[in-house]
Structures are given as C-alpha cells and as structure tokens.
Amino acid sequence: MTKLSINLNKVALLRNQRDIGYPSVLGAARAVIAAGAHGITVHPRPDQRHTRPSDVRELAKLVAEELGGRVELNVEGNPTDEFLALVLEVRPAQVTLVPDSPEQRTSDHGFDLEADGRRLEPIIARLAAAGIRVSVFMDPDAAAMPLAREVGADRIELYTESYARAFLAGDYAATLEQFVAAAEAAADAGLGVNAGHDLNLPNLPVFRQTVPQLAEVSIGHAFTADALEQGYAAAVRAYLAALQGWNLDAVMQTLAEQTGRRIEYSEGERAHVFRLEHDREPPHVLHVSYELVDLLGEQGFRDRLGDIVPHLTTQGQSLLVTLTSNRVRAEPAVDL
C-alpha cells in the first residue's frame, strides 16, 4: 500500500500572512490524520516563510504523544547545521534531504550525487545513527539510484514536477517511463521509493498504477487547494481513493449512466456514500465500504455493478444498498 503524507506548508503559509494563530498547523494535522492520512510532511526553510521550528517541535510531540507514533512525521530540508540540529532534536520517522537554496520559491531539482554524495554521506550516517530513516530528493535518473544507496540513504523521493507538467500537456508517456526506470533502479539497489511535487488528483492514479514500487507520496499544494473547496476530510479521502485507483468522478458517471439517476457524493464513517436521486421515484443510497476500495480498488467496484444496479433501479421505495468486499446487502431505507 502506498502511504499518503500531507504536506502542511501551505497551511502554515496562510497562517503566517496574519500570524494570529489560524489556520492552525496542529489542528490541520489532527484533521488529516483523523481522516486517514498516514503521515505529516513539513519543510521548514531558513526564512520561516511557512512551517517554523516551533511547528516541527509541536508536530513531533503530537505524533509521539497524542497519536502514539501510529503515523509518521517526515521533515524535509537542505541539510544545513540548523536543520540537522532541529531534526536530531525531534527525531522524526523520516528526514528527506532536499538541495534547495534559501531564495527558491519551491524545490526544483534533485541532488547530483556525483557532486554531493561525499558531503551527504556523513550527514546521512549521523541521521541513521539517531534512528531516523533518510530519503534523498532525486530527479528521475535511473543511473543515479545506486549512488543514493552507496551514500547510505534508505529511500529516494522522486521529484515529480516534470511528470505533472507532461500530464497537464496530455503527452506524458515518455516522461513517465523515466520514472518507471528510476523506481525500478532504486528498488534494485535496495531503496524505498517515495515521490512528490505537483502530484494531484488527476495525475496521481496513473502515476501510482505505473510505479508499483511507490511507498509514499507527499502532497501539499494541490491538497491544500482541494481542501479549501472540499474540506480536509473529503480531500484526504479523495487522495486515498486516487492512490487506490478509485476515480470518484468516473464512478459517479458510471452510476448515473447505469441507473438513470443523479448522483450526490459524501463520506460516511466507514464508506463512500452515494445518494441516487430521481424526479419521479424515491431516492436510493449506496454505501461502498472503504475496505472494498482498499482491497480491490475501482475495478473491484466495477466488478460488482451487476449485483448492485438492479437494487439501485428499484421503483416505488427507497433502498440502502451496502457493498463490501464480500457481500451486497439491500434493505429498506428510512429518513432519506
């Protein structure tokens, strides 16, 4: 399973515009974890334009004490003396080393380990000795992956901006092949594979399905934009679904086509909830369990359409149809 780590830098950036305490980075962390995210990512920069050392300390305390270590904190940054002192103090589960300079708006390239490997090797050893998993931010260059292992990294994070740009242009096959080759080379070298930068709901399913080695994605800018419209919980669920190959727009279109009803979507505690409306008939409600999506993805849902569509086209009464990984249950619905 590919894990989802939510980058909270843009939440901190918005807070810092007024610096009156909200939106709360800590509150956002609690919300996304409650919704199912597997981890939190932050990238404190020297100018403190978004997350600050105080945020890192508070998040580390949250993860260790309030959440009992059941989610991971990933701290990204250029390995300056100040950055290393901070991460060695809080000891997150993972540190991702990124070669960004203070004036950069955002990360825009990976490490050149031919040039930087010797400098990074003792830094990585120091972090590893503190029990911290180390990931190195890398361009999708298959030939460079063994070098990451040689300098002691546990994982690499593929810098995915070029894929996102190609996907937006509608011509991404050749670019995606570079990432496939890089991920395969990393896995062959004994490295875990993370990815991040400009991944979003449209481009994430293809990337996940094509790069099966993917252990973790960290998503911040696109997630924050989606959360502004959908809310934290719904946005987390949408990204988890995208990682599982579950395209909600396509699912809703399929349901509409096969039932002749208007579809409204919401999230339940344990299931995706689809309300099916008709001008002249009572509504139906379909619950698709998160368990089914986790185990079987969108294809698992589509394979069961023949079992559920007859219920969802029943006339004269409202039905609650529940679809799990091993059964379909239809029962009269009340209070719709």
Q: pLDDT tens, 64-108?
A: 998 888 899 999 999 999 999 999 999 999 999 999 765 655 656
106-132 per-residue burial string, b: 16 or more CB within 10 A, e: under 16? ebeebbebeebbeebeebbeebeeeeb
Are 38 and 126 contained in the same domain? yes
Give the range among 83-87, 94-98, 178-182, 243-247 with minimum mean pLDDT. 243-247
Q: What are residue 196's DSSP bridge partners?
A: 159, 218
Are 261 and 235 contained in the same domain? no
Distance CA 285, CA 83 (A): 51
Give the active site residue among 38, 50, 197, 311.
Answer: 197
Q: Which two tokens stand for residue 212?
A: 């099966």
Are 37 and 128 contained in the same domain? yes
As for how many domains the chain has, the answer is 2
Q: Domain boundary residue among 211, 243, 275?
A: 243
| pLDDT for res 198 | 95
3-state secondary structure of 322: strand
Q: Domain boundary residue among 243, 273, 303?
A: 243
| pLDDT for res 189 | 98
**Could you list the residue range(s) of the whole structural domain that residue 109 is in?**
3-243
Are 200 and 73 contained in the same domain? yes
Active-site residue, 43 included = yes
Are 38 and 179 contained in the same domain? yes
Which DSSP state fits 279? S
Are 93 and 194 contained in the same domain? yes
Are 98 and 234 contained in the same domain? yes
Active-site residue, 109 included = no
CATH number at residue 126: 3.20.20.70
Give the active site residue among 38, 50, 72, 76.
Answer: 76
Are 135 and 284 contained in the same domain? no
Its pTM stands at 0.80
| pLDDT for res 275 | 93
Percent of the chain with pLDDT over 90: 72
Q: What are residue 276's DSSP bridge partners?
A: 263, 284
Are 160 and 122 contained in the same domain? yes
Give the active site residue among 43, 272, 284, 311.
Answer: 43
Active-site residue, 287 included = no
Are 168 and 92 contained in the same domain? yes
pLDDT digit string, tens, across residues 273-323: 899 999 999 999 999 987 787 777 778 888 889 999 999 999 988 989 998
Are 306 and 159 contained in the same domain? no
Q: For residue 95, what are the contacts with CB-CB under 8 A and spacing of at least 6? A: 74, 75, 76, 77, 87, 127, 132, 133, 134, 135
Q: Domain boundary residue among 218, 243, 268?
A: 243
Percent of the chain with pLDDT over 70: 97
